[in-house]
Amino acid sequence: MHKRHVTNKHRFIGFVLIGLLVYILSNTVDEWKSFQGATIAVYVVAIASIILLTGYSGQISLGHGALLAIGAYTAALTQIYLHLPVWICFVAAVLITSLFGAILGLAAARLTGPYLAGTTLALAVGLPSIANQFSFLGGEQGISFDAGWPPLSFGEAFTQYKWFFWITSLTALIMMWWIQNLLRSRYGRTWRAVKTNEVAAELSGIRLARSKVLAFTVSAGIAGMAGALLATTINNVSPSAFPLALSFSLATGAILSGVNTLGGVMIGAVALVAIPEIASLVADRWSGSESVPSLLPDFIVSVLLILTVFLAPKGPIEKFRSRHVK
């Protein structure tokens, strides 16, 4: 018990130090780096929601981008029609997306493997067209979401993009702290037991359906928060912001992170932001070909996925841990 207390204390101190580092960086980096940092924070939360669902409860989702869209639209609509503070809009995004996830989870509890993946994929495909059918959602142009300007006490040099970086990073730290503690609780142990052996888990008294629905609900709520944070960084919520490619990118990020562990989530998030930058630099040297800039990011992702599957199927962090133990 004492050892666990010490570990939690050290982990908390680590999160606080990371928070201080983020604050220092927000005062030193330029606008573009601030935007990239905010995007990384969004991906961290989104990928964590997939890792919780797939890596810990064994349910496969290929449509998490749709859950991000629900969270983003909820935050924007709450602000537009109820004129509530930004942080309450975030809470609303989590609650509404969790409710939607619970409903979807009831169906998911009866599906496994490719059937569940196909259902979530269909959701990601159909949601943008549904959003276009309702005028209050803004159609293709979408609706705005304004996180406001930073406090004057931060100084004139503290720009809006730096404010977005600060909001998203702080929220990501809080969410990661909460998720880590959740996965170490009895709920996390229950999800791992269900994933490992459903028959043994049921014989031990675990209600499989309820456990799966709860995992889907929590994962959806986290994804809803990621959607609200994404709306913060782009100031707009529209179908084009949540294409099917977003769901595939998040799944890719989870695989690169190591879908069975939360420790590598930053690796996947940084990779999703860095790959387009790397592709752009390489494409500049291949200016004679028009197809290179559009095809290169997908090629890089494919290579990384293949290398990850062959060299570190459980993720880079688990690979490092296994070597360290040996």
CB-based burial label for 97 (10 Å; 0-12, 13-18, 19+): buried
The mean predicted confidence, pLDDT, of the chain is 84
Considering only 56-70, 125-139, 290-304, which range has the smallest mean pLDDT? Answer: 290-304
Q: Are 268 and 253 in contact (CB under 8 A)?
A: yes
What pLDDT digit, counting tens, does each position of 95-124 carry? 999 999 998 888 777 766 677 778 888 888
Average pLDDT on 2-20 reads 64
Q: What angle do CA 217, 100, 179 make, to 5 degrees?
A: 30
The domains of the chain are located at 2-247
* Residue 291 to residues 2, 106, 278, 296, Cα–Cα distance (Å): 59, 44, 16, 8
Query: What confidence tens digit (pLDDT) does each residue in 154-176 have?
Result: 777 778 888 899 899 999 999 99
pTM beyond 0.75: yes
Residues 6+ apart with CB under 8 A from 142: 236, 237, 238, 239, 240, 241
| pLDDT over 70 percentage in the chain | 85
